[in-house]
Amino acid sequence: MKKLLLVGLLFMLGCNSQKVTDPLSLTRFNIEQSNSLFGHDGQQRDTFYSYETIYLSIKNLYGNWETDIEIAKESNCDQEFELLVASDIDGEIHNLPVWHFTNTDENGAPIDQSGNYIVHIVQAHHQKPWKNYKIPFTIINSLPPFAQARLTDAAGIFKHGSYLLNEDVYIEASGLPANTEVRIYIQNCPGDYSIGAAYTDVSGKIDTVTTTGGGAINTTLVWPSAGTTGCFDVVVDLAPFGEYNNGDLVLNPLEPGLMIQTPSQTTDIITDIACNGAGIHLDIFDEKEEIFACICPTPLPRLIDGHLHDVQSGIFLMPHKEIWVQDEPLLFIETGGSMQSPTICLTNPVSQSLALIRIRTESKPNYRRPVRLWPGDYDVILDVNNNTLYDPGIDVLDGGTRAGFSIPGEKPEIYFFMTAFTDYAALGPDDTLIRALVFRSDGTPVTGVTVDFRVVKGPGAVHPTSDVTGPTGVAETRFSEGKIGEWSLVRALVTVGDVQYKCYTSVHNEIPCTHYQGDLYNE
């Protein structure tokens, strides 16, 4: 049973545009420049202001392929975020959050993040030129010159759209028409924002406010003691009232603008996660079907040592377990286009709500397993603190005692796969964690068997070269000594009974910012 598992590791691409002589020449890497950044209004631009969320949409990528996205300072390549996502079958990525709430800290206080930044969109390939898109943008430390609404507390402190049950919800706004009557609706998310669609308020009261001579709404209470948990949209409605029209201001049509949650807990946070491309949560998928994730956790995930989590979170796909225990190792089952590392994405930094994102790509009937996902029961886990271990009360679990979703069909006797982890500072640039999992069709782990690891192609080494599966069926090794801009193939072997099983994973060594790729120009 041979499964070729292809994984791309962290790519820290050069941020500067300058001519240099470099062994990583333009003949090896396909370098282009594009600009596909936008805010909540959907307008493409390269300048952003305070309290904005920045989104990325881009085309001309390899289809169904692992895509590395880095956001960094233009001047020194200091990294802000590093994401890992999958393109669709047409080689496109749409509406991906790459920065939440500019110029604010974790407590909602204003900070100065102004400056020039770079987005790198990179796809490594074994046979074709690497895709390498560079997108510059600027953050300005001021309110935008266009209309913007912000949710706050009574003192006007920004709340990231996150409130606890029975907490008061306040709104501020700027950039609206002066001395104009507006109405404020809170409605279920997602709302219908086609022209003429009627608004339905769920807060118990539609607030009417008149803007100031400067077009602002001062701090105004819009939902006293919010008594319903869930995700909501907030709309500032200009005449004609009661329906969506051009000029109305939706707080954020791409993500929940408002989350009402219960206090944190130490037990599992269980909610629906796996869904289709329309955001509809499903319990059964076809083995070839795309799978997405969308999350609005009702309990607020716990803080760690009194601080918010790293807003980069991992999404893992695992065989279903009725009980998940503290510090259980997490893995991700390979999907198309070398995507076998977990999806790494941005969540809301407080509520940990997650915008719709693809976690498995579309496959075809002739694709090998597990790209065409094995029949069986599965759980999706949002690893909120991105530590690759399960933490009750912090991470979010799909399903709980029941499976998050199922793939119908005849299950194989033994499942065997590997995950190579991208590194976002925890392991160092030349130390890549690799995990292998062995489990039976009934979901029980295969313990006490030896997994042998070996680099079978390319530079580098693994240490140790073998490991015995523990109580969760997991064996581990680490890859090191790779070469810049090259990939290596790691093989794992395990024997269960008298049958030997084999799987592979590939590791791409990072390209540091000191390696520039030549001049970049607008197309």
Q: Residue 150 corresponds to which amino acid?
A: R
Q: What angle do CA 508, 512, 518 make, to 5 degrees?
A: 105
What per-residue confidence (pLDDT) applies to 406?
95
> What would the 3-class secondary structure string for 196-264 be?
CCECCCCCCCCEEEECCCCCCEEEEEEECCCCCCEEEEEEEECCCCCECCCCCEECCCCCCCEEEEECC
**85 touches 93 (CB < 8 A):** yes
pLDDT 10s digit of each residue in the chain, 523 long? 322 333 333 322 222 222 223 333 333 334 444 558 999 877 889 999 999 999 999 998 999 998 889 898 988 878 888 899 999 999 999 999 999 999 999 889 999 999 999 998 888 777 788 788 889 999 999 999 999 999 999 999 999 999 999 999 999 999 999 999 999 999 998 888 899 999 999 999 999 999 999 999 999 999 999 999 999 999 999 999 999 999 999 999 889 999 999 999 999 999 999 999 999 999 999 999 999 999 999 999 987 655 565 568 999 999 998 899 999 999 998 887 667 788 999 999 999 999 999 999 998 888 888 889 999 999 999 999 989 999 999 999 998 788 999 999 999 999 999 988 864 333 344 578 999 999 998 889 999 999 999 999 988 999 999 999 999 999 999 998 887 767 788 999 999 999 999 998 878 765 544 343 432 222 3
Question: What is this structure's pTM?
Answer: 0.88
What per-residue confidence (pLDDT) applies to 48?
97
Torsion of CA 482, 484, 487, 488, to 10 degrees: -10
Distance CA 350, CA 302 (A): 10
3-state helix, strand, coil in the chain (%, to 5): 0, 40, 60
Distance CA 406, CA 464 (A): 35
